[in-house]
Amino acid sequence: MTSSGATRLTRTSRNVSKRGSPTLSPGLSAELAALPTAKSGSLRRFAEYLAESRDDRQENIAGIVERLKSMERGELRLWDALAIAQSVATLKATPQDQRYFTYLPSLQYSWKPYERSIWDELSRRTSKFYNELHVDEVSDPVSFMHFLRLHKRLDKRFMSAMAAWARVAVYRPTSRTSRRPTARELALIVDYC
């Protein structure tokens, strides 16, 4: 066998799938073969090549991912690996998906229905407070009372539970786990009742 015949044989055998590994196009396999010794600039060029080629064959994507997994020895810099991964992600996206991504920032989102349902749930739960034990479950009852007052959500039932909590909590010793109202906070609770 001549040397040109051997070269032809090795060139064709590169694209033959070995043990179920995906087949790569000749240009892509040559680029991937040069990756471990590549410098930062050539890696960027390879990422640009991937992004511009728009080659979305599943075999090429699987081959790129397999090759990147085999180069775990740290030859690639982090940013270059991220650029290549981003290029692979753009290869996977269809043109229709890319169109959706361009229009996504211009969409208007309304949080009003969600905010309204959260306020309804909070009002429903605070309306069930009827003694000091319920208020004692709140981490900072006085701040919670200020929050409800700020948003005009204070109701009489919560305030009566708050007064009952203050009456019991005044006699508790101050500790890290239990909250004791100060004289100023007691005056505020009396004013709000």
Tens of pLDDT, residue by residue over 103-154, are 666 666 677 888 889 999 988 888 888 888 888 888 888 888 889 889 888 8
In a shared domain, residues 126 and 96: no
Q: Does residue 6 fall inside a structural domain? A: no
pLDDT-flagged residues of the chain (< 70): 1-94, 97-98, 100-101, 103-109, 177
Cα 95 versus chain centre, distance:
24
Q: How many CB atoms lie within 10 A of CB 68?
A: 16
Query: Which residue pairs from 186-190 have beta carbons closer than 8 angstroms and sit at least 24 positions apart in sequence?
Result: 188/142, 188/145, 189/142, 189/145, 189/159, 189/162, 189/163, 190/163
Q: Is the pTM of this model over 0.85?
A: no
4: in domain: no
Beta-carbon count within 10 A of 149 CB? 13
- Does 123 lie in the same domain as 78? no
